[in-house]
Structure 1
């Protein structure tokens, strides 16, 4: 455990950010929350058919593979789940998947 120099809270060694005051250990300063919200910027995408802006439907996680027998739910924990941003056209219904921006 390490102590935050800003608020004196105990923080696990593997965390780079204080949970209480948002002090960043690598940057040695308090980080504003709005810095993290910039990661969720929506793309500006036009439909290739209708040429109107597509709307974001959300982020969806898809499971690779199929359920296996009686223990299907247990084996799903060991399978890969991919996350995609889904956009749709409100005019023609076209759907597009994109890898989320990091």
Structure 2
């Protein structure tokens, strides 16, 4: 264990950030951590290829299976569905999917 010089908390040797005050042992200062209660389409993420900000394209529902005529809604009960936020790179066209962090009305089936 090592002691945090900022708040005197005990920190495991393998960690570089204090769990109590966010003091970075490598940078020797307190790090400001952004709030992760992200609003829809409000993530700040860069393209892994181009290193430019991705653009929020929308929130999409995906499901496995097919609708079968009039019985389609009944069969929807047995289908696995997921919801994702889609971001795209305006330069190279790369697409990234993220699980919505604040989607309270969505319940994973």
Note the aligned Cα RMSD (angstroms). Answer: 2.1
Other structure's SS at 2:44 match: coil
The structure with the largest helix share of the pair is 1
Any residues of structure 2 matched to 1:1-102 within 5 Å, and which? 39-40=38-39, 42-68=42-68, 71-102=71-102
Query: For structure 1, which runs of at least 5 residues remain unmatched after alignment?
Result: 1-37
Instruction: Give TM-score, length-normalised by structure 2.
Output: 0.50
Deviations 1:8-36 (A, max 9, x none): xxxxxxxxxxxxxxxxxxxxxxxxxxxxx
**Deviation, structure 1 residue 51:** 1.1
CA distance in 2: counterparts of 1:78 and 1:71, whole angstroms: 12
